[in-house]
Amino acid sequence: MAEEYQPKVIEKKWQKKWEEENIYQVFEDEQKKKKYILEMFPYPSGELHMGHVRNYAIGDVIARYNSMQGFNVLQPMGYDAFGMPAENAAIERGIHPKIWTDANIEAMRKQLKTLGISYDWSREISTCEPEYYRWGQWLFLKFMEKGLVYRKKSQVNWCSSCVTVLANEQVKAGLCWRCGSKVESKELAQWFFRITEYAEDLLKDLKILEGWPERVKIMQENWIGRSEGAMVNFELEDGEKIPVFTTRPDTLFGCTFFLFASEHPLVDKMVSGTEQEKAVRDFKRKVAEETEIDRTSTEIEKNGVFVGKYAINPVNGEKIPIYLADYVFMGYGTGAVMAVPAHDERDFVFARKYGIPVTVVIQPEGQKLDGATMEEAYIGEGKMVNSGDFSGMDSKEGVRAVTNLLKGQGKGDFTINYRLRDWLVSRQRYWGNPIPIVYCDSCGTVPVSVEDLPVVLPQNVDFKAKTVSPLASDPEFVNTTCPKCSGAAKRETDTMDTFTCSSWYFLRYSSAYEDKAPFDSKAVDYWMPVDQYIGGIEHAIMHLLYARFFTKIINDMGLCKVREPFHNLLTQGMVIKDGAKMSKSKGNVVDPGNIITRYGADTARLFILFASPPEKELEWSDQGVEGCYRFLNRVWRVVLENKQSFKNQSSQVDGEEEKQLRHQMHKTTKKVTDDIERFNFNTAISATMELVNANYRYNESRAKSQRSGVLLREVAERLILLLSPFAPHISDELWEAIGKKESTFFERWPSYDKALAKAEEITLIVQVNGKVRDRISVVADMSRDELERIALSSEKAGKYTEGRNIIKVITVPGKLVNIVVK
Ligand SMILES: [Zn+2]
Ligand SMILES: [Zn+2]
């Protein structure tokens, strides 16, 4: 009888061996094709959670598989080490952020190593080390030379709980992305990256990202928010010209009032000393307290106030009243809006509330709208009416015609507007990358010269200081000399948004020890782009947009050849338990450390890959973990038990049983190969389980002496290799037990006999609510579960089920799956 499977013992043994022999370290090799597999690096909280394990297990299967396919595979790991939690720990517990962070990194590295991921640890980076952040400062200065960095006083998002400003991307439905507090508006001078300069580029290149989930691309597209329309110049009574953006210049004749955002800089000037002054000031104060979500909601009543002034409609010369409205933002367009109540929903509601005339200028076909009696806005197309010479024209044509008229009179032009705003990067916090700028009384704002980088983050800072930023509390840091005139000067005391650190770390991995530049361009050109990037969907806008922006600038600087950093993107789903996201407050957290101690890392990895396709949510199940552990035990026994039969090398002719097992082996190899390519790890694992079952069946049907040792050896080897990307420790142990010298990592991925692997294929019809949405070619003898899994992960059908409740799934095996949604 074979000895017992003891994951604890064998996992330690192999992790030690792999590390000592440095088997996962890679070098640039022009003779070999490369693959760069990357998982988003973690924030070093000190605790590895199941989401991490899932992320890294997925990456490791892809990395190991590609290595065995003969690629030169880079899979690195590092830490996104700056950020608020370290600083909060300093404030609450009196531990210095550096000490807290270093201890957490230490702990996490240890935990990561127990997972047995094939990382090249020689490239490990941590963004809070001067060797790294120095180059973030260098990039800041280079971007500045290119005119892509500027400082400006403006209304910014302020989180009083985090005591810092936030970028637009970091405000989610009016709340702080980090702490969930209500975000306020504040006027401050801040540093910005001119991401809007790349708006068109970032949008256009989404089209070439074929390996990205549609969902992420749509989110970025919407965030960039390109719209074509016209810029129209309205004139105020005092002659001041106010440009406004509209996508509907064809409705201009129906503009009966004019709106300003309450934050608009002109507002105070307009009302100063007038009788409307008090009402306007009261209104501004009220709006400042409203959340952005309230202000944009169509459910909540919109408010406004008359300013007491008028603007001139440029097409008909009519005097129209100016209001402030809470639904108009400084952030969108110019902070001023031409209001056309007959043809815009919110303008309509606003006009009715404040008794402003509603003039119909577009008549839909077959209807007769009346501005006095209509009950809602008409936003569609139709015939232009009440529009001077344009009356009778098709509204679609009118868009162009009206803009041309304005253009001819110098009162407007065709234009493209973006929703995207420049990226606010300064933060009033300590634990971040210092902004390399000094302020000199005689020279003004002066960049630190690159030879003097890094501007090192000082150690002795009062974290509770009531200064604008904790760095301002350290006179030794603040007081410096001007790089230009050598006179006394003061340093910038803001640090950079930590998202700047994560916008280029994937480049740094190519040459982590480079000390003359952010990275070695030759190494970057070898490894980039990242062939497979894996991370959470929550980064769809922030990190994934910023990283694309950085890469484009760096490409424009001639430092790297790629313009897009991530060739393929996989966004993994959340790990949940009892139907909810794991969280300490809900008490449903499963600690990976406990699972690894009890069952081993191989079981943890296997379960997490088996329980659900990677992009779907994964429901934690203790029984599922047990099941995977039992499976590995079965693999262990069947291989070691058959080892005895390997001796039976008599070249008997295959009987029916042998034929069947051999057939199953080739079929399984094909299935696992195809499934890994498509990231269907769960079905790959279940195919392996079936092969193990077939192996047991064969052993039962044949007397020991009659078993084909040749075949059993083949099946055992095959099984181990197919399993090795998922469960590398047990694989290497069994590989050694059957007499092999090297790690499975150095083996070639098994090939299969096409004729033997060929299974009958059928077309699976995927329906959503009875309508055919996809046709997928599948193997004929798939189980009901498997068919459903495949249907539910169809991207085409997913477009119709996205965000809707699945009521039931009706499956006719061998034919169709109908997903019923509400
Ligand atoms: Zn906050
Ligand atoms: Zn100076």
Which residues sit with Cβ closer than 5 angstroms to ligand 1, an ion? Answer: 159, 161-162, 176, 178-179, 181
- What gap in Å lies between CA 682 and CA 786, rounded to an integer? 9
Expressed in angstroms and rounded, the spacing between residue 448 Cα and the centre of ligand 2 is 11
**Ligand at shortest distance from the CA of 441:** 2
Ligand positioned closest to the Cα atom of 174: 1
Give the ligand at the shortest distance from the Cα of 490. Answer: 2
Q: What is the DSSP letter of 189?
A: E
- 292: pLDDT strictly greater than 70: no
Distance 525 CA to ligand 1 centre (A): 38
> Is 780 a residue whose pLDDT tops 90?
no
Å from CA of 447 to ligand 2 middle = 11
Rounded to an integer, what is the distance from CA 517 to the centroid of its chain? 27
* Nearest ligand, measured from the Cα of 180: 1
Tens of pLDDT, residue by residue over 793-806, are 888 898 898 888 88
Specify whether the CB–CB gap between 639 and 614 falls below 8 A.
no
Between CA 775 and CA 663 the distance in angstroms is: 27
221-230, 538-547, 769-778: least confident range:
769-778
pTM: 0.85
**Cross-strand partners of 447:** 437
Q: Is residue 431 left, alpha or beta, with left meaning phi > 0 and alpha meaning psi from -120 to 50?
A: beta
**Quick one: pLDDT band at residue 651, thresholds 50, 70, 90?**
low
CA-CA distance, 686 to 628, in Å (whole number)? 10
Question: For residue 48, how far is its CA from the centre of ligand 1 (angstroms)?
Answer: 23
List Cβ<8 Å contacts ≥24 apart for 5-8.
5/632, 5/633, 5/636, 5/637, 5/730, 7/599, 7/600, 7/601, 7/602, 7/603, 7/632, 7/729, 7/730, 8/597, 8/600
Q: Which two tokens stand for residue 67?
A: 């290595």
Indicate whether 299 pLDDT > 80: no
* pLDDT given for residue 627 in this prediction: 97
Determine the Cα–Cα distance for residues 398 and 250; give it in Å rounded to an integer: 5
pLDDT in tens, 149-176: 999 988 788 998 888 888 888 888 788 8
For residue 372, pLDDT beyond 80: yes
- Find the mean pLDDT for residues 220-248: 93
Give the Å distance between the CA of 85 and the centre of ligand 1: 11
How much distance in Å is there from the Cα of 132 to the middle of ligand 2?
28
What is the model's pLDDT at position 728?
Answer: 98
Residue 202 pLDDT > 50: yes
- Give residue 298's pLDDT: 66
Nearest Cα to Cα of residue 411 among 652, 214, 241, 659: 241
Query: Minimum-distance ligand to the CA of 447?
Result: 2
* Range scoring the smallest mean pLDDT among 6-15, 238-247, 562-571, 654-663: 654-663
Cα 772 to ligand 2 centroid, rounded to whole Å: 71
Range with top average pLDDT, 152-156, 430-434, 658-662 = 430-434
Residue 301 above 70 pLDDT?
yes
- 36-92 pLDDT, tens per residue? 999 999 999 999 999 999 999 999 999 999 999 999 999 999 999 999 888 888 888
Least confident window among 330-339, 539-548, 691-700, 732-741: 330-339
Question: Across the chain, what does the average pLDDT equal?
Answer: 93
Strand-pair partners of 414: 230
Q: Tell me the pLDDT tens digit for each residue of 581-592.
A: 888 888 889 999
Cα–Cα dist 209/215, whole Å: 12
Band of pLDDT at residue 379, cut at 50, 70 and 90: very high
Ligand nearest to the CA of 444: 2
- Tell me the mean pLDDT in the region 807-812: 89
Residue of 703, 700, 711 whose CA lies nearest to 646: 711
Higher pLDDT, 650 or 303: 303
Nearby residues of 226 by Cβ (< 8 Å), 6 or more positions away = 199, 200, 203, 416, 417, 418, 419
Q: What is the pLDDT of residue 1?
A: 42
Distance 481 CA to ligand 2 centre (A): 8
Lowest mean pLDDT among 168-177, 568-577, 634-643, 695-704: 168-177
- Give the ligand at the shortest distance from the Cα of 445: 2
**pLDDT > 90? residue 790:** no
293: pLDDT confidence band, cut at 50, 70 and 90?
low
